[in-house]
């Protein structure tokens, strides 16, 4: 399956993507995680992306699209993928459509996670990420690690993302409404969008998402 996950910052895209990708046996491709890995490895691409991310802006398309496509061209993504955080504007969606067309394949669904803004702010404020692997995500109240500040999965240090400060979150939400939300209409025109509520426990949301993707919601 080829799936795009959309939703505001803090909706739980990364959290859900980890479970959905496992259930569907497809790789989870997060452009945010790819940028953070590049930043922690000190690559040229990471250096270029960092200032945009810290300010809550989108990283320019000429950096993002190539990076996402390189990842989608890896052998493990040949039979499908779950995209998290890409595409994030209409021109990225158009570039993705062109690439898929070249490969003679198409998207199966665009899963839209709906969460009220006050909940998103609470989720982001309490989020803690593992320094060794940014796909290991915790929340100080909703999913606390067994030992404070330590990752349950790999023992790495937990930290708060630099772009999770209140001001930057406000900016990221503004960017989401102005630049990312329009892709929902873009994909509605292709009849690909399934919208679910992302409120409730993590496993309840996963169940809802699986039912929606299997068309029996």
Catalytic positions, written as ranges: 13, 88, 127, 161, 172
**Residue 28 near ligand AP5 by CB under 6 A:** no
**Residue 136 near Zn ion by CB under 5 A:** yes
CB of 153 to Zn ion, least distance (A): 4
Question: Which of positions 156-215 make contact with Zn ion (CB under 5 A)?
Answer: 156
Q: Is 32 annotated as a binding residue?
A: no
User: How many CA atoms lie less than 13 Å away from 20 in the CB half-sphere?
Assistant: 32
**Residue 139 near ligand AP5 by CB under 6 A:** yes
Tokens coding 70: 């390189």
Alpha helices, H only, the chain: 13-24, 31-40, 44-54, 61-72, 90-102, 117-125, 166-175, 182-188, 202-213
Quick one: which H or E segment has residue 110? strand 109-114
What distance in Å separates the CA atoms of residue 97 and residue 45, rounded to the nearest whole number? 24
Quick one: which H or E segment has residue 46? helix 44-54
Nearest to 133 by CA among 151, 120, 145, 116: 151
Instruction: Decide which of ligand AP5, Zn ion, none touches 156; Cβ closer than 5 to 8 Å per partner kind.
Output: Zn ion
**Residue 27 near ligand AP5 by CB under 6 A:** no
Among the residue ranges 9-17, 73-81, 98-106, 144-152, the one whose residues contact ligand AP5 (CB under 6 A): 9-17
User: Which residue number, 22 or 101, has a Cβ lying nearer to Zn ion?
Assistant: 22
Which residues of this chain interact with ligand AP5, rule CB under 6 A?
A: 7, 9-15, 31-32, 35, 52-53, 56-59, 64, 85-86, 88, 92, 123, 126-127, 137-139, 142-143, 163, 172, 200-202, 205
């Amino acid at each position: 399956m080829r799936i795009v996950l959309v939703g505001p910052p803090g909706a739980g895209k990364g959290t859900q993507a980890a479970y959905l990708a496992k259930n569907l046996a497809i790789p989870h491709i997060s452009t945010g995680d790819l940028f953070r890995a590049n930043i922690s490895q000190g690559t040229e691409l990471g250096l270029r992306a960092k200032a945009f991310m810290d300010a809550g802006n989108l990283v320019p398309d000429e950096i993002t699209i190539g990076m996402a496509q390189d990842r989608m061209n890896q052998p493990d993504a040949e039979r499908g993928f779950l995209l998290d955080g890409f595409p994030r504007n209409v021109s990225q969606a158009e570039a993705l459509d062109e690439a898929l067309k070249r490969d003679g394949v198409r998207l199966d669904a665009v899963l839209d996670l709906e969460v009220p803004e006050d909940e998103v702010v609470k989720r982001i404020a309490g989020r803690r990420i593992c320094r060794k692997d940014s796909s290991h995500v915790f929340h100080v109240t909703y999913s606390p690690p067994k030992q404070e500040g330590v990752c349950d999965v790999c023992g790495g240090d937990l930290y708060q993302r630099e772009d999770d400060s209140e001001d930057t979150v406000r900016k990221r939400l503004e960017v989401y409404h102005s630049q990312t939300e329009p892709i929902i209409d873009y994909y509605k025109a292709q009849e690909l969008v399934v919208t679910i509520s992302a409120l409730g426990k993590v496993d309840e949301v996963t169940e809802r998402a699986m039912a929606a993707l299997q068309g029996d919601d």
